[in-house]
Amino acid sequence: DPKRGVNPLAWPFNQNLIERVPMAFEYAYQYSTKNDFFVAGDSGAGYLNPTYLVPPRINSDNPSGMDAWIKHNQYYFDKMDIDITGFLLNSAQALNEEVLDAYSIITPYGVMTHNYAFEGLIHNNTPFYSFTADAGAQNYDPVGIANQILSHTNSRRRGPNLFAFRSVLCSPTYIDQVVTILKHNDSDIVIVDPYTFFSLVR
């Protein structure tokens, strides 16, 4: 895409896939730009709701699987040099202490969560933050999506305001169209990379 690299983007991978399509990851790392940032996808190196790993486990009497989950993730995160979870899912369950502890070990630089109303929660020096809203390509209408984003950013409070928007199946060109509209409508908006974002949360 000709616009890849123009705006900072977090690309969420399921690291388990390096066992199936290692050449795809070789390609991504070889041709990444300074604005391409690789993070963990849904909940890490796998796809699960981590609260269900700790007792009482609703579907079994098994002991906690959290230590095994941490070890499993650390292997893949180290291999791919990833230290941010881009999207932590946990069904409708609250993130309990065990989950917060685990993810502060797995991805110490930052964790983006799904609908848990975290704005600046720091746990074991790891920032946890809930994404603001989906900014996907509904009908591929960049003006409509930009207006949805502006409806959130226009409700800013005094002081620093941080917003994270999740896009799915959107091209860098599409994202650039949205960003151009946003900046035209509000010159105070700054798009930052995930490392800068979590530094600001801290």
pLDDT tens profile 81-138: 999 999 999 888 888 999 999 999 999 999 999 877 677 789 999 999 998 888 876 5
pLDDT tens profile 6-55: 999 999 989 999 999 999 999 999 999 999 999 999 999 988 999 999 99
Instruction: Show the 3-state SS of the chain.
Output: CCCECCECEEEEECHHHHHCCHHHHHHHHHCCCCCEEEEEEECCCCCCCHHHHCCCCCCCCCCCCHHHHHHHHHHHHHHHCCCEEEEECCCCCCCCHHHHHHHHHHCCCEEEECCCCCEEEEECCEEEEECCEECCCHHHCHHHHHHHHHHHHCCCCCCCCCCCEECCCCCHHHHHHHHHHHHHHCCCCCCCCHHHHHHHHC
pLDDT tens profile 131-177: 888 887 656 789 999 999 998 888 766 666 899 999 888 899 999 99
* Cβ neighbours of residue 5 closer than 8 Å, sequence gap 6 or more: 33, 34, 35, 36, 172
